[in-house]
Chain A
Amino acid sequence: MSNATVVVVTSGKGGVGKTTTTAAIASALAKEGYQVCAIDFDVGLRNLDLIMGAERRVVFDLVNVVRGEASIKQALVRDKKLSNLFLLPASQTRDKDALTEEGVASVISELRTYFDWVICDSPAGIERGATLAMRHADEAIIVSNPEVSSVRDCDRIIGLLDAKTKIAEDGGRMPKHLMITRYDSDRAKTGDMLATEDVVDILSVPLIGVVPESKDVLKASNVGLPVTLSDETSPPAKAYMEAVRRLLGENIPVTIPEEKKSFFGKLFKGRAA
């Protein structure tokens, strides 16, 4: 019997890449050989099943389990490619009030006995869904875009992680990791985007990875595969794989992705300047 590490992927703001990150991290951990379960907490607006290509196999969902209408084993959906990766989908027809605190607590504690890693995909916002997703986590991955409103929302979420979670109420401190997504090195250079150092400075949370803005992410979600499974050599997949190694405790420096320019591109740019 194993005892899982529960990680919440959260951000406050919507559209920054929480679901993409959850899918990518979960599948990268599964590729390393761990038993992994991803939970979608976004009841009413579920997406994780689409990104992981499991939408056609969903029978029961988190709300059914929380209400005792189905067992966890009935609700878990096994990934098509990786037999040690599972998804616990959210309900699309209910809303977040259908989740109860006790129900979520018992689901998480049961999942802890089956898996090595449980990755919770938090909904946007700071309301019930988001607070329940973070409530029982052991660690948090904060997803931010290099842009001021996203950074400020993350700051708010960090405040909640240090106040409303089980760990915090027991007097502990939740370990936090910062994942910067949709990073564009060119725009950061011209000042259109915040530089990674600025984001780290404002949030004072250690950086776990920087994922570049890339067409590969959209391509992967359209075919229903986590980006770390669809094209392992793509820059975002590499960034996520590196982040997972850091999550596992390896001490490797974070590489800030640079756009690779073709020879002609460089020449052209040089002349234009």
Chain B
Amino acid sequence: MKFKGKSFIAIVLSPELPFDDWLREVDRIIARSPGFFIDRPIILDVRGSNIAIEDLEQLLADLRERSIRVMGIDGVAGTRLKDGMPPSFGGGRLTSDVDVPGPAAQPNGGGDDTSTDAKTSKAANGNASSPEKSVEGNDQAANGHSFAKSLEELENQQAKEGNSSIVISEPVRSGQSILHPDGDVTVIGSVSSGAEIIAGGSIHIYGALRGRALAGVAGKGNARIFCTKLDAELVSINGLYKVADDFDGTLRNSPAQIRFENETLVFEELN
């Protein structure tokens, strides 16, 4: 038997005291966009709050009333949870914020309501992540900084253009991780062994790919991976992955593209 691995982006709810006010904020989001929480994986993050188990029970009931089904709880030991509560969950990696629809209820509305977007998303998320948090590694402080600036610029650019792709104009070193679940990632330089690129869209590498590249992680089958020299440790599109040992040897060290087709990964030489 084989198990398929799949990545999903979960919405993380971090309730703030007093819970009544926080729930009212949730109600406002639901009023604006009734389908927002439907069919999305939802994690309740109560780390650092030392919440009493009775309060947690009440909170879960309140959320259930609003048809928000919590799939896991981060920050409470599994042994403390009562029967029937969602399981304890840990070890998540932060990605960028999930946008909450603005008051005008227009998806991808015009430029003027982006600021309100940001505000509501902060309210819903409790700890809205700063641009640096989109880039993570084993050593956040070490890696965050060098790309923080470029990401900030990109964020601005993104607000203007409404689409999202990032360009990294230096080599990605071992131990560094570029995480961009919203769109394409372009790297001008090599991706070293022990480094990884995780993108919601396609990955373009103008250099050698020696590390890992995971494209289309938010469930995008038309994402592709391009590189000028294929020497990867692992590639993945839409949750389907292949390790170097399973690659077609003829493409090693050649320019290549990888795409997802009929539930398999197709490797092609790029001319």
Contacts and interface: CB of A to CB of B under 8 A. Distances in A.
Contacts of A238: none
Chain A's interface: helix, strand, loop or mixed, by majority? helix
B146 A162 contact: yes
Interface residues of A, number: 18
Interface in B143-167: 143-146, 149
A168 interface: yes
Nearest to B229: A201
A140 interface: no
Contact of B145 (A153, A156, A168): A168
B175 A204 contact: no
B77 interface: no
A164 B142 contact: yes
A232 interface: no
A155 B139 CA distance: 14
B193 A159 contact: no
Contact of B171 (A148, A156, A204): A204
B174 A152 contact: yes
Interface string A169-209: 10100000000000000000000000000000110100000
A137 interface: no
B174 A156 contact: yes
A158 interface: yes
A163 B145 contact: yes
A204 B190 contact: yes
B121 interface: no
A30 B171 CA distance: 35
Contacts of B142: 159-160, 163-164
A202 B209 CA distance: 10
> Counting chain B CB atoms within 10 Å of each CB, which of A126, A148, A152, A163 scores highest?
A163
A168 B149 CA distance: 11
Given A171-B149, A202-B210, A155 B141 contact: no
Interface string B73-111: 000000000000000000000000000000000000000
Contacts of B219: none
Contacts of A164: 141-142, 145
Contact of B175 (A156, A168, A202): A156
Interface in A137-170: 148, 152-153, 155-156, 158-160, 162-164, 168-169
Interface string B183-213: 0000001101111000000000000101000
Given A155-B174, A204-B189, A163 B194 contact: no
Interface of A: 126, 148, 152-153, 155-156, 158-160, 162-164, 168-169, 171, 201-202, 204
A-B pairs with lowest CB-CB distance, top 7? A159-B173, A155-B174, A156-B174, A156-B175, A163-B146, A163-B142, A155-B192
